[in-house]
Amino acid sequence: MASSANAAEPVVAVERLGKRYRRAVALQAVSLTVPRGQLYGLIGPDGAGKSSLLKAVAGVLSYEEGAVRVFGKLIDSERAAEDVKARLGFMPQGLGLNLYGELSIEENVDFFARLRLVPAHEAAPRKERLLAMTRLAPYRERPMKNLSGGMKQKLGLVCTLIHAPELIILDEPTTGVDPVSRRDFWVILAQLIEEHRLTALVSTAYLDEASRFDRLALMHAGRVMAEGEPERLVRDARARIVELQADAAQPGPLEQRFAQIDWRANVARIYVEGDDDDSARRAVLDVVGPATAPHLAVRQPELEDVFVALLRAQDGVAIEPLRGLSAPAPRHASADAEHAIDARELTRSFGAFRAVDAASFGVHYGEIFGLLGANGAGKTTVIKMLTGILPPSSGLGRVAGADMRRAGQAIKERIGYMSQAFSLYTDLTVMENLLLFAGVYGLERRLAQERARWVLALGGLEGHEDRAASSLPMGLRQRLALGCALIHQPRVLFLDEPTSGVDPIGRRRFWAILQELAREQGVAILLTTHYMSEAELCDRLALMFAGRVVADATPAAMKAQLAAEQGQLLDVSTAAPAAALAAMRAAGFPGAVLHGRGIHVMAHDPRDAQERMRAALERAGLPEPLVARRELSMEDVFVHRILALEAAAAARTP
């Protein structure tokens, strides 16, 4: 019955799949089908069971209950799995971990081709095409271990595709990758799917990537909570988002009435249940008063809103409200005089390579300062120099008034640090970790207990005291790591990608803590993140590129500057985004970029731009697009700035 000719047959069909590891349940009654030629997404927080599901489909993990069919073949034994493996490609989790560090890009690709017995006359042209497409061709001699995160991820994709599989299974290919590289990756993937009629099953922890999928399943705690096309999921949510100008919002009463409010830089996005614009508007006006009506807009919820709502229902806990930080950070009299963190011409070279190049910035007490940049821009190196782990090659890093190169114990006691990825002791329990760090900071037993309880309460970790850190979901782990960095109540906090891989609810709780620390206790916080929605929440941002700080301003100022330079942001939605993008770029919109399933373009004269776009798409035989003006987001700013800088750098080096 297995026949690849039968196009109607789903490529993957999972029925009531159950999987357990010893006593821990990984998957329960999971059912889904992946039709041919689709980009199917598995979305959910860390520990939701995405990896287990993907491995079961790839035939590398056995399961106890239910059935997995791939190309119509029941995968219930190693032998059965072998029959379909020629037709699928699997890229496991972990950036470049399945590749061979000592081998070059080309050798990696060649190895995968030989492993898959691809005839040389097929492999060679395919390799060239894939390397060209991923723009890896110029680096083909470079050993894999020396690649940046984004490049590793693209190489992984090339290696997975070299035998021209019909189905590719990618496990969190974008985790830990910066927004620009991530975008790049999705564009390439979309192109490949279109050209080769590939079917792709991809998991991600980034909810904002959800809208890129043709179809998706939201997973949580081993179950599928919702499944279907993105549009249908939004429709089925039967809810509205009421956007309210932040200055008109009344946080207290609103939060009492509505469980899910997303506070952005200048708007509050309120999630209102009910499939009706008017009743949603009325529900909000009932709280804030009719006078605010002009400052209010009703929109369809985005996928992320829907997921948060679904997860919230599952967790049964209220989401921490995130206050907008549009008001300037409170400055203390003493703090004004002195920066908590002060980087002056900070430089660090590794051999000939300059990882950080004369970076200068300052952070006040009570301020949340975000360091943004692509993978390899030098963010982590800056933090390592400022925390005293790495001595600068030149320049000065002062923290709490002391030169970090000669920092003594007293200074280190004022610093808290959370390194990239999870760096606590996973084999210790929550309480053991906390008491360890209390001891490391020399706290006496009674005080240590007291602080541990304080951290447990702050991080919402009560009830998990005796769980091994390895068994915690990502969100809890990160709060535990933060707690360990806080146990000695530092005045300055360094957080390196603290929320990587954490689900949105977890991230919200995390940020609520950060805000409390900054606002209530005047802690200076320096952090890095790849989530641009988090960048919005920072008081100030510095953008790094190739080791240099290229911009340093508040999020609002950054947006305003971009708007002044490039004009109004237009969101173009169309049925065939890839083709439309090509057409638009050809028609004089070089800055057009893919955003979700739409295209973002900036223009000083929106009317004229709209006309030109229509014409361009018509010439290309594409349907008329839907164009809407949008507020600039930090993501737009980031992508625009980085692409411009990359283009400039490429122009300098011929």
Partner 1 sequence: MSRNRTWPRLDGSRARRWLRQVAALMVKEWRQLLRDRALFGFVVFIFTVDIMIAFGAPELDLHRSPVGVIDRDRSAASRDLFYRLRPPYFAASVLPEQEAQLERRLDRGELRAVLTIPHGFERDLVSGRPTDLQLTVDASDSNLSYLLASYVERITAAMAQEWHERRDAASGRDNREPVVLLQPRMRFNPTMREGWFSTISELLGMLTVAGILLPAAALVREKERGTIEQLLVSPLTPLQIVLGKVMAMTAVTLLGTLVAVAGVMHGWLGVPFAGSIPLFFAMVALFAMTAAGLGVTAATFARNSGQVGLVVLLLVMPITMLSGTWNLVEGMPPWLRTAIEVSPLRHFVQIAYGVLLRGADASEVALPAAKMALLGAVFFAAGVSRFRRQFR
Partner 2 sequence: MTPKRVLALAGKEVREILRDRLYLMLAFLLPITLLVVFAYGMTSDVKNVGFVVVDEDQTPTSRDYARQFLASRHFRLVASGQDPALIDEVLRTERARVVLWIGPDFEKRLLARQPVEVAAHIDGAVTPPGRTIRAYLEAINAQANAIYQTNPRLAQADAGPDCCRQAAPPVRMETRFLYNPEVRNIVMVAPSLLMLVLLLVPPLLIAVSVVREKESGAIYNIASSTVSRFEFLLGKLLPAVMICMINAVVLWLLVAFYFGVAFRGSVPQFAFALLLYVLATAGLGLLVSAAVRTQQAAIIITTITAMIVATQFAGFFAPLDTAEPANRFLARLFPAGYFLPVVRGMYLKGAGMGVYWVELAALAVYSGVVLWLAHAFFRKRTKA
Locate 240 and state its tokens.
């509205």
Q: Is 544 exposed, middle or buried (0-12, 13-18, 19+ CB in 10 A)?
A: buried
422 binds partner 2 (CB under 8 A): no
Cα angle at 648 between 344 and 159, to 5 degrees? 100
Q: Is 140 exposed, middle or buried (0-12, 13-18, 19+ CB in 10 A)?
A: middle
Q: Which does 122 bind (CB under 5 to 8 A by kind): partner 1, partner 2, none?
A: none
Chain Cα centroid distance, residue 367: 23
Q: Which does 441 bind (CB under 5 to 8 A by kind): partner 1, partner 2, none?
A: partner 1
Query: Cβ closer to partner 1: 63 or 365?
Result: 365
Closest CA to 280 of 305, 316, 310, 312: 305
Can you tell me which of 102, 334, 337, 650 binds partner 2, judged by CB under 8 A?
A: 102
Q: How many residues bind partner 2 (CB under 8 A)?
A: 34
Least spacing, CB of residue 326 vs partner 1, in Å = 20
416 binds partner 2 (CB under 8 A): no
Q: Are 33 and 228 in contact (CB under 8 A)?
A: no
Contacting partner 2 within 164-223 (CB under 8 A):
169
Closest CA to 451 of 431, 423, 476, 421: 431
Query: Which of helix, strand or coil describes residue 162?
Result: coil
| x/- map, 8-47, partner 2, by CB under 8 A | -------------x--------------------------
Query: Cβ closer to partner 2: 109 or 525?
Result: 109
92 binds partner 2 (CB under 8 A): yes
Least spacing, CB of residue 28 vs partner 2, in Å = 17
122 φ/ψ angles, rounded to the nearest 5 degrees: -90, -40
Least spacing, CB of residue 83 vs partner 2, in Å = 9
Query: Which of helix, strand or coil describes residue 428?
Result: coil
103 binds partner 2 (CB under 8 A): yes
- 69 conformational bin, left if phi > 0, alpha if psi -120 to 50, beta if neither: beta
62 binds partner 2 (CB under 8 A): yes
Query: Cβ closer to partner 1: 113 or 438?
Result: 438
35 φ/ψ angles, rounded to the nearest 5 degrees: -75, 160
Chain residues in the site for partner 1 (CB under 8 A): 330, 332, 384, 387-391, 409-410, 412-413, 415, 417, 419-421, 423-428, 432, 435-444, 447, 484, 489, 491, 494, 520-522
Q: Are 538 and 368 in contact (CB under 8 A)?
A: yes
299 binds partner 2 (CB under 8 A): no
341 binds partner 2 (CB under 8 A): no
Which residue is associated with the tokens 């693209």? 154
Which residue is associated with the tokens 């300052």? 362
3-state DSSP of 539-553: CEEEEEECCEEEEEE
Can you tell me which of 41, 44, 45, 89 binds partner 2, judged by CB under 8 A?
A: 89
Least spacing, CB of residue 451 vs partner 1, in Å = 10
Pairing of strands 12-21, 65-70: antiparallel
Q: How far apart are CA 524 and CA 364, in angstroms?
A: 6
Query: Cβ closer to partner 1: 313 or 421?
Result: 421
Residues near 159 by beta carbon (within 8 Å), at least 6 away in sequence: 91, 99, 108, 109, 112
Least spacing, CB of residue 173 vs partner 1, in Å = 22
Closest CA to 99 of 177, 155, 161, 162: 155
DSSP conformation class of 301: P
Least spacing, CB of residue 27 vs partner 1, in Å = 26
Beta-bridged to residue 467, according to DSSP, are none
Beta-bridged to residue 543, according to DSSP, are 372, 551
361 binds partner 2 (CB under 8 A): no
| x/- map, 121-160, partner 2, by CB under 8 A | ----------------------x---------------x-
Q: Which does 387 bind (CB under 5 to 8 A by kind): partner 2, partner 1, none?
A: partner 1
Q: Which does 353 bind (CB under 5 to 8 A by kind): partner 1, partner 2, none?
A: none
Least spacing, CB of residue 116 vs partner 1, in Å = 28
Least spacing, CB of residue 442 vs partner 1, in Å = 4
282 binds partner 2 (CB under 8 A): no
Contacts to partner 2 by CB under 8 A: 21, 58-62, 77-78, 81-82, 85-86, 88-90, 92-94, 97-100, 102-103, 107, 111-112, 114-117, 143, 159, 169
